[in-house]
Amino acid sequence: MTAHRKSTAREYFESIAIAVILALFIRTFVVQAFKIPTGSMENNLLVGDHLLVNKFVLGPAPSALERALLPVRGIRRGDIVVFKYPEEPERDFIKRVIGLPGETLELKHKKVYINGTPIDEPYVHFLIPPSAAGQEVAAYDVRENYGPVTVPANQYFMMGDNRDNSQDSRWWGFLPRENVKGRALMVYWSFESDRDAYQREGLGAAVSGVVNVVTHFFTRTRWERIFHQIR
């Protein structure tokens, strides 16, 4: 009696189906690609950076056993996370976690205070230097002064590293825990934006003639940022 052999077409179909299922599983539960569209996280993350986002590490773990066995953890101050924008949940934003649930946060002369104590933020970038003590600023300028506010339970206060050019919790409020999608892990590719190309090459060089895609891949790829760990 001869063993039944699968047809070549069926083997190909099963291999492709398994690959698709694994890809969907990985994208849904483990990792997702994300592209930086704005300069709100400069100079840490640049426009044109393509990131891998770890969706598993910040996932909910309902039991102590799961928390002990699986590589998951709670959200920490300083984490850079991708999340659903509360005002338009179909849009993804990326910001840094600054205020944790239960903490009181205040911004004075662009310096962040948590529970009355200033925090060290070596990653922060300012377009305009902070105002000096006693210097008059507009009362509504949340880039200079904000709060104090207390972060509600299961919510977070998010801010961009480019503090003068970031639409963050100072404008739209707190981030609910359920909106968090994952923690930014690494840059897998970085492509110089047209804005940067205009500055480097000149407007005429950037737009004249037929675009040479192959040339631009090599000349505009930021090779030094590939596999850059995000912190």
Catalytic residue among 40, 166, 169, 190: 40
Catalytic residue among 55, 95, 110, 190: 95
The two structure tokens encoding residue 194: 């047209």
Active-site annotation holds for 95: yes
The two structure tokens encoding residue 122: 């070596």
- H runs (alpha helix) in 35-154: 64-69
Distance from C-alpha of 91 to C-alpha of 181, rounded to nearest angstrom: 12
From the number of C-beta atoms within 10 Å of its C-beta (0-12, 13-18, 19+), residue 128 rates as: exposed
CB 193, CB 48: distance < 8 Å: yes
End-to-end CA distance of the chain: 62
Show which residues are catalytic.
Answer: 40, 95
